[in-house]
Amino acid sequence: MTFPCFRHIGRISLALVIAFGLFLPRAFAAGEADFSLSPSTNAPSVGQFFTVKVMLSVGEPVDTIRLYMDYPVGVLGAVAVSPGASLPSVSPGNSIDNAGGHVSFGSFTLGSPASGNILASVITFKVLKAGSGNITLRANSLVLSDGNNLYSGGSVSVPFDTKGTKDEIPQVPPVTGETPVQRPGEIITSSRGTVAVFSSSHPDEDRWYASREILFSWSISGEKPQEFWMKFDEIPETDPGAIASRDSHSPDLPNVTYQAPHDGVWYLHARAVYSGGYLSGVIHIPVRIDSTAPASVFVDVDRTRAIAGESVMANFGARENVSGVTYAVSMNGGEYADAVSPYEIKNIPIGDMLFAVRATDGAGNTAYANIRIRAYDPNAPFVKIFSLGKTFLEKPQNVLIFTLLSAAILLVFCGILFLFARALRKRKKVTLF
């Protein structure tokens, strides 16, 4: 029989447990990881650059991430992806596919694993036309801790609604000091005329270049400006008219040269100044710089000694922090062929073979690594004995037989040594007497 007071006590206890479970702060369970997206704006304008921060909250130390992101084709274009400070080394195989609206990005750390609330990555987008949609981090993204995936939280999305088109952007009022109007592309537009700004040394905005020295030129149509205000930095949107540290260049110059202090995505910001203090719109021209060859290139094989005709598995990689890496392999000084790791080296010939790996980043910088493999003639006597023994030990029952036989031989050998030592000791005693 259950007493009524006990039933009341049980119900009250259950209610308290549920209440505490609801109001206690949420703690990370072991192996739990959550992503969140933080855009710099949810309503960007056409031609504007904006960033999306990918934040990671994780309770267990992680060393590697892989992000898979989707966005509307034709409305947004991904410009650059950079890692966070906690996972600073960029993994091989990263890509931006603006034709399909996809980004694949991975990074890792060679130091201490990261945990807690960390910045996983920053992705820069450019608005191509008016529209709305979602930027989505896919559910198959990875958060790895020593090879174990901690993420299974599903997809994460953030909405956006782009504003305006090129034709809808109003003319800049001819008054010095008013709020600047930013204009897309490489054409500085105004009612006084237009100026086309371009780089003859780095003409393709989607391509990586090895040279840090960038040459910018211009072509003037309509009224000639009195001067150009320019700024070269790593910020996607800077108004050179709003900062005192801007550069002033005469339109009579044929061109101007800027030097990127280090690798990354840089931007030239420019606007024209006409008579009477009339200011044009602002343009932002991205330039991708990667002057450093892939670092820490390595190649490893599952064995450096083999029998001719067998296959050897090779693993290779490199640490590249900017433009990504592709690989090619070569055997004995032959032509390089594109390859991915792991790579199976098939039908190894007799003798020594040099297996070389070439790592090439997005700007064409290359680095190399190699390893030597020796293959023996399968008809050599010692190779045949080795092959017979290897074939014999492939069966589990033969391994047991070999182990027992080896133990018996070792036991017999130790017994013989013991008897020999005992006989020698007795002989010494007889000699003494």
Average pLDDT, stretch 110-125? 87
Band (pLDDT 50/70/90 cuts) for residue 27 is very low
- The rounded distance, in Å, linking the Cα atoms of 164 and 148 is 45
Instruction: Give me the mean pLDDT over the 101-129 stretch.
Output: 88
Distances (CA, A) of 418 to 55, 406, 421, 427: 71, 18, 5, 14
Question: Would the pLDDT of 186 be above 60?
Answer: yes
Q: Do domains 33-161 and 295-381 have the same CATH topology?
A: yes
Cβ contacts of 68 within 8 Å, gap of 6 or more: 102, 103, 104, 137, 138, 140, 141
Q: Which residue has the higher pLDDT, 426 or 359?
A: 359
CA distance 344 to 355: 11
What is the distance between the alpha carbons of residues 190 and 188, in angstroms, rounded to a whole number? Answer: 7
Fold of 187-289: Immunoglobulin-like (2.60.40)
Which of the four CATH numbers 2.60.40.10, 3.30.420.40, 3.30.1360.30, 2.160.10.10 does domain 295-381 have? 2.60.40.10
Q: Are 209 and 259 in contact (CB under 8 A)?
A: no
CA 326 – CA 364 distance, rounded (Å): 10
Which amino acid is it at 228?
A: F
Query: What pairing do the DSSP bridges indicate for beta strands 132-137 and 64-70?
Result: antiparallel
* Burial of 264: CB neighbours in 10 Å, binned 0-12, 13-18, 19+: middle
Question: What is the mean predicted confidence (pLDDT) over 229-235?
Answer: 94
Q: 3-state class of 27 per DSSP?
A: coil
Among candidate residues 219, 170, 168, 176, the one with its CA nearest the CA of residue 191: 170
Place 398 in a pLDDT band, splitting at 50, 70 and 90: low
Q: Where are the domains of the chain?
A: 33-161, 187-289, 295-381, 393-432
Are 249 and 228 spatial neighbours (Cβ–Cβ below 8 Å)? yes
Q: From CA 16, how far away is CA 170, in angstroms rounded?
A: 62
Cα dihedral across residues 14, 16, 17, 23: positive or negative: positive
Which residue is it, tokens 């995936």? 149
Q: pLDDT tens across 12-26, in order?
A: 444 333 333 333 333
* pTM of this prediction exceeds 0.85: no
**How do the residues of the chain divide into helix, strand and coil, expressed in percent and rounded to 5?**
15, 45, 40
Answer whether 125's CB lies under 8 Å from 39's CB. no
Residue with the bigger pLDDT between 158 and 428: it is 158
Cβ partners under 8 Å of residue 211, min gap 6: 201, 202, 289, 291
Q: How confident is the model at residue 313 (pLDDT cuts 50, 70, 90)?
A: very high
pLDDT at residue 275 is higher than 70: yes
At 102, is the pLDDT very low, low, confident or very high (cuts 50, 70, 90)? very high
Mean pLDDT of 118-131: 86
How confident is the model at residue 182, as a pLDDT? 39
The proportion of the chain whose per-residue pLDDT surpasses 90, expressed as a percent, equals: 36
Inter-residue contact 314 to 82 (CB < 8 Å): no
Taking domain 33-161, whether its CATH number is 2.40.50.100 is answered by: no
186 to 143, 205, 212, 282: CA distances (angstroms): 39, 11, 20, 9
60, two tokens:
């267990």
Q: How confident is the model at residue 161 (pLDDT cuts 50, 70, 90)?
A: confident
